[in-house]
Chains A and B, each alone.
Chain A
């Protein structure tokens, strides 16, 4: 029994989506970190 080949384009799009989500999370975390650093430096 042989399963069908996966679509390469779909696989690349899936990776692009997961990379975009991780990048969004990192940028969000950096915004929070820079805000927290600013508060810590002022205190």
Chain B
């Protein structure tokens, strides 16, 4: 039995002719799975602040962070439709699959970004709106347009874009930037290289096919594995730092110390691995999965610590 469909299909490497996009395709453009981590870190930044704001304004701040991140993801996909079409992992996204035309994605991304910044500025405060605008521009202009196709340091520098939400959440409540949110920014910034290098190690052939100069493609797997471990060490130091500095208590300090040691152990396993078969790269896949859990638990522990010990 065969069923004909009007849905355009694209082979890998080929962008199909677009038709009228479904609303689900607009949602897919915002990378909802990435948004969960962005919203969570933003919420933790907001909840760990020493003061509080009206719940409606707190909700609005988190909504603006989500919309801003969605706008950045949309503009990233608008710009990268050609290389997304070359990679198995991304070939079925709305633009390379031909379910939406590029101009619609551009209008949606710009509209969403402008709306999120304006709403943040009008409803919450100017500082959080400015940081939100900087984070969107950083992700789109610095990471996507400037760095991604040019240097293997793309995600090392571009990682700053994903580090802003905690800072925005804190600024939304306090109207200023303090040491703790700066440490949270540094934590996410230093967490990004081991997280994405682990992914790039077992996705190397995809990135190589698309011509993206990720670290394993340019420097090789051995050098990348060493860098996974090298970045894990300052990341762990920054993660634990709020405890001895008196910015967080024993709950945060204990949980973060244990998890950071596990992270370093897993990074050391990656560094010691000599596996070249992508399907058999278990330490890399384990570290990638654990790194997501790590960030969720560390940020969650900070909020729990500040709420319980306060």
Contact = CB atoms under 8 A, between A and B. Distances in A.
Interface of A: 1-3, 5-6, 8, 11-12, 15-16, 18-19, 22, 33, 36-37, 39-41, 43
Contacts of A39: 56
Interface string B4-40: 1110000000000001111100000000000000000
Given A2-B1, A3-B1, A3-B3, A12 B23 contact: no
B57 A6 contact: no
27 contacts: A1-B1, A2-B2, A3-B2, A3-B3, A3-B4, A5-B4, A6-B4, A6-B6, A11-B6, A12-B20, A15-B20, A15-B21, A15-B22, A18-B23, A19-B23, A33-B63, A37-B56, A37-B57, A37-B60, A37-B123, A39-B56, A40-B54, A40-B55, A40-B56, A40-B57, A41-B57, A41-B123
Contact of A33 (B5, B6, B60): B60
B152 to A, nearest CB: 40
A3, A15, A39, most chain B CB atoms within 10 A: A15
A17 B6 CA distance: 17
Interface string B195-236: 000000000000000000000000000000000000000000
A6 B19 CA distance: 15
Nearest to A5: B4
A8 to B, nearest CB: 5
Contacts of B19: 12
A19 to B, nearest CB: 5
> Top 3 A-B pairs ranked by shortest CB distance?
A40-B56, A40-B54, A22-B23
Nearest to B54: A40
Interface in B53-87: 54-57, 60, 63
Contacts of B22: 15, 18-19
A18 B27 CA distance: 13
A36 B56 contact: yes
A40 to B, nearest CB: 4
B95 to A, nearest CB: 17
A6 B5 contact: yes
Contacts of B5: 6
Contacts of A1: 1
Interface in B236-272: none
Contacts of B4: 3, 5-6
Interface string B162-176: 000000000000000
A5 B2 CA distance: 10
A6 B1 CA distance: 15
A2 B22 CA distance: 26
A36 B80 CA distance: 38
Contacts of A18: 22-23
Contacts of B21: 15
B208 to A, nearest CB: 37
A32 to B, nearest CB: 10
A33 B54 CA distance: 13
Nearest to B6: A8
Nearest to A1: B1
Given A19-B23, A37-B60, 11 more contacts: A3-B1, A12-B20, A15-B20, A15-B21, A18-B23, A19-B22, A33-B63, A36-B56, A40-B54, A40-B55, A41-B123
